[in-house]
């Protein structure tokens, strides 16, 4: 399958070096870049405003000789496009009727599909386009004759590829994108997904950052892709400078950007995700409501269909993060971790305030999840001015609890200054196993699901009764990844609590959060983890600024400071194998590994994100995972664990339907039945597994 079968479209922004007022030269430069982009598998190539003559030709644009030369250059481009897959959008001045218009000409396979005149002509500061051009609204016709072809003419055109679902192109020109309601806004509400802007924008201090903000926010607001291409080297420097800024944005994210001030031809390319845009729009009911408000006007926009016939491309030209819940950049990751911590602390603080309860009961295993929940509890009590001794932490060794885990639990509780107790659950578990007439109670080494769940259930039962006894609430520790896989004991097990601060935090993010907490407590110390390929990351202390704790970020009086004993214990926890420690070690000493049983959390979190956040077909999720995780995981391994994920995810909805309250953390969503995820507990997984075995493209 090609990237187009998975709903992607390769788009290119091209900034050729031009010769001012030399359309013949500029046409050849345009053809060269178009041909190269076609060989690279592009479906769309966008060029700058008035790229055939140059934006800064000023009054020369009204000279017949130059206009004739522009038509000759356009003819050369149209002829050269024959047999090429990409749609090209070229900036040309054109006479239509009695007016001269600043146009974007849409060319494909030897045909002009349409011509889009500029709607809003700037006439302030260094701009005086109203001196030169007529605006789109002033055109007395909606059809133009260009190079002998009668073609649609107007700012109301949407170009739709019949053979690439979701590829609906709209063109606007420079100032059109800077006005309060750009023409592309109406086009997007009418179904346009790929919005392009041919620009002649000169550069001034601060303009680059403003362009980025404008384009990314516009793409986010409209759930669209936005391709912006500005004029570059070769424009007149009489009074201005030009940086050749080109960028590709998608739904608020910047996918690609040109190098500023290049003095050679330059292109940028990215594969935009049409499926993602379609999914976002289906979910944005408020956008659909506004579409309904203006339905009669939107129906007036004209749609021009064409067959794109894209060149097959197998390799994706797009960054796909291995850890979609975790920002890749160190500074962004620090900010995300701080924000997650703030949300968790605020949620727990609000619950304690609302109930008037000032005590927490928590089970501490010495593993990742309970460690994060305990750290959040400590930060919350510090923020509220409550003594840490009101946090009643219990480590409850069972039949398979390792000495290292038990030691870490004690060290963590002791170093944090909470009320710490060891409560051995083995006697009560033996009593229950005996009541069940289980073979283990008779001395047999039978480690079945009953054996495991008796321990998990006994721990939770103790915690709830302790909460009754102490007048507190049970703080849950289970995370989003475990809820997705159903890797939790239902009802009286670790699935249940009074409040769960980790319920929408995936396992991969928990690792980053704890590393960040260590780094934040050490302020300027360096805390470095293993390579990201293994699921571990570099600590937050690598950020250039001094990072302080959650309470300081929210305006509190204190900032997080862990003792060296706490930090050392946290590092050990991060480096250990993820295990429920419910089955004793094997004869070879190997301990029970969660990831050996259900698969790597790094992959499962990846699957979870794309299946629940975007609703992608399993074959597309596998395609993205292969792109992100190669060579660490091959396609066969990815599909193996994806099948495990799909089966477990669908089969364990009943556990999520009864999950306790907890704060939603990120836009990746939560699985709360009261929020992001509402699903029947008895749905079949068949359709998803069959699609993975026999991939289908979008209709």
Closest CA to 381 of 206, 160, 506, 551: 551
Instruction: Name the binding residues for L-glutamine.
Output: 124, 201, 207
Strands lying side by side in the sheet with 419-422: 419-422, 391-395, 360-363, 473-476, 499-500
Q: In sequence order, what are the residues at sequence separation of 6 or more whose Cβ sits closer than 8 angstroms to the Cβ of residue 161?
A: 43, 167, 168, 169, 305, 306, 307, 308
Tell me the binding residues for deamido-NAD(+): 453, 482, 487-490, 655
Residues 6+ apart with CB under 8 A from 124: none
Q: What is the dihedral angle through the alpha carbons of 161, 162, 167, 173, rounded to the nearest 10 degrees?
A: 30
* Torsion region of 525: left, alpha or beta (phi above 0 gives left; psi -120 to 50 gives alpha): beta
How far is it, in rounded angstroms, from Cα 331 to Cα 549? Answer: 15
Catalytic residue (one of 118, 359, 507, 620): 118
Residue 257 DSSP one-character state: E
Q: Pick from 632, 538, 554, 624: which is nearest to 320 by CA? A: 624
Task: Tell me the C-alpha distance between 470 and 381, whole Å.
Answer: 17
According to DSSP, residue 259 is labeled P
250 counts as catalytic: no
Is 118 annotated in the active site? yes
Question: Annotated catalytic residue: which of 70, 103, 174, 215?
Answer: 174
CA distance 479 to 506: 6
The CB-side HSE value for 273 (13 A sphere, CA atoms) comes to 25
DSSP H or E run through 304: strand 302-306
Instruction: Please give the Cα distance from 284 to 29 (Å, whole number).
Output: 42
73 within 8 A of 26, measured Cβ to Cβ: yes
- CA–CA distance, 249 with 191 (Å, rounded to integer): 17
Catalytic residue (choose from 49, 175, 452, 626)? 49
From CA 212, how far away is CA 170, in angstroms rounded? 19
Could you list the beta-strand ranges (E) of 314-396: 360-363, 391-395
DSSP assignment of 507-563 equals HHHHHHHHHHHHHHHHTT-------GGGT----GGGSSSPP--HHHHTT-S------
Which tokens is 89 given?
Answer: 């959008």
In the annotated binding site, the residues are 124, 201, 207, 363-370, 453, 477, 482, 487-490, 655
Known binding residues for ATP: 363-370, 477
The structure tokens listed for 633 are 């995981």
Residue 174 bears catalytic tag: yes
Tell me the C-alpha distance between 498 and 376, whole Å.
Answer: 15
Q: Which two tokens stand for residue 399?
A: 């039949």
SS3 88: strand
Distance in angstroms (rounded) separating the CA atoms of residues 229 and 232: 9
Cβ atoms of 619 and 691 within 8 Å: the answer is yes
SS3 label, residue 324: coil
Residue positions annotated with a catalytic role: 49, 118, 174
């Amino acid at each position: 399958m090609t990237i187009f079968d998975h709903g992607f479209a390769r788009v290119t922004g091209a900034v050729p070096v031009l010769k001012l007022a030399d359309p013949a030269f500029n046409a050849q430069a345009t053809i060269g870049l178009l041909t190269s982009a076609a060989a690279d598998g592009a479906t769309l190539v966008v060029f700058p405003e008035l790229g055939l003559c140059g934006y800064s030709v000023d009054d020369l644009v009204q000279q017949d000789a130059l206009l004739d030369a522009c038509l000759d250059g356009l003819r050369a481009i149209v002829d050269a496009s024959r047999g090429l897959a990409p749609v090209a959008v070229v900036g040309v001045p054109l006479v239509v009727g009695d007016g001269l218009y600043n146009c974007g000409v849409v060319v494909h396979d030897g045909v002009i599909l349409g011509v889009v005149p500029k709607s809003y002509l700037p006439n302030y500061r260094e701009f005086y386009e109203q001196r030169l051009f007529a605006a789109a609204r002033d055109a007395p016709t909606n059809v133009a004759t260009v190079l002998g072809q009668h073609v649609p003419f107007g700012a109301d055109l949407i170009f739709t590829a019949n053979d690439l679902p979701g590829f609906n192109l709209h063109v606007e020109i420079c100032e059109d994108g800077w006005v309060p309601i750009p023409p592309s806004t109406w086009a997007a509400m009418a179904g346009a997904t790929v919005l392009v802007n041919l620009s002649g924008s000169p550069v001034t201090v601060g303009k680059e950052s403003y362009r980025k903000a404008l384009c990314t926010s516009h793409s986010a607001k409209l759930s669209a892709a936005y391709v912006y291409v500005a004029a570059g080297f070769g424009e007149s420097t009489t009074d201005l400078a030009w940086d050749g800024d080109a960028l590709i944005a998608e739904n608020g994210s910047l996918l690609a950007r040109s190098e500023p001030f290049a003095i050679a031809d330059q292109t940028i390319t990215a594969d935009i995700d049409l499926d993602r845009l379609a999914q976002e729009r289906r979910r944005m009911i408020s956008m659909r409501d506004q579409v309904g408000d203006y339905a009669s006007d939107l129906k007036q926009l004209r749609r021009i269909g064409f067959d794109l016939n894209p060149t097959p491309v197998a390799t994706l030209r797009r960054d796909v993060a291995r850890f979609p819940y975790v920002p890749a950049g160190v500074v962004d990751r620090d900010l995300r971790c701080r924000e997650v911590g703030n949300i968790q602390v605020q949620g727990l603080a609000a619950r304690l305030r609302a109930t008037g309860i000032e005590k927490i009961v928590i089970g501490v295993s010495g593993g990742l999840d309970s460690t994060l929940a305990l750290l959040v509890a400590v930060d919350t009590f510090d923020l509220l001015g409550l003594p840490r001794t009101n946090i009643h932490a219990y480590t409850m060794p069972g039949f398979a609890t390792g000495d290292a885990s038990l030691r870490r639990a004690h060290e963590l509780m002791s170093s944090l200054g909470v009320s710490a107790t060891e409560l051995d659950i083995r006697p009560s578990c033996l009593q229950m196993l005996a009541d069940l007439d289980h073979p283990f109670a008779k001395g047999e080494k039978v480690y079945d699901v009953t054996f495991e769940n008796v321990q998990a259930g006994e721990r939770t039962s103790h915690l709830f009764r302790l909460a009754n006894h102490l007048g507190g609430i049970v703080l849950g520790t289970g995370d989003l990844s475990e809820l997705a896989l159903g890797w939790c004991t239902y009802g009286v097990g670790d699935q249940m609590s009074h409040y769960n601060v980790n319920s929408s935090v995936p396992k991969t993010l928990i690792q980053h959060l704890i590393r960040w907490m260590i780094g934040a407590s050490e302020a300027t110390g360096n805390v470095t983890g293993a390579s990201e390929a293994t699921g571990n990351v570099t600590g937050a202390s690598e950020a250039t600024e001094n990072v302080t704790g959650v309470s300081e970020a929210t305006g509190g009086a204190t900032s997080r400071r862990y003792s060296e004993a706490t930090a050392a214990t946290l590092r050990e926890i991060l480096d250990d194998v993820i295990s429920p420690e419910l089955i004793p070690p094997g004869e070879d000493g190997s301990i029970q590994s969660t990831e050996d049983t259900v698969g790597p959390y790094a992959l499962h979190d990846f699957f979870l994100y794309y299946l629940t956040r975007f609703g992608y077909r399993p074959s597309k999720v596998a395609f993205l995972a292969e792109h992100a995780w190669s060579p660490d995981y091959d396609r066969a391994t990815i599909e193996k664990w994806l099948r495990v994920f799909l089966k477990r995810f669908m089969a364990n909805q009943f556990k999520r339907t009864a999950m306790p309250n907890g704060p939603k953390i990120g836009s990746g969503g939560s699985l709360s039945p009261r929020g992001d995820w509402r699903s029947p507990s008895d749905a079949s997984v068949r359709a998803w597994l069959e699609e993975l075995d026999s991939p289908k493209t979008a209709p």
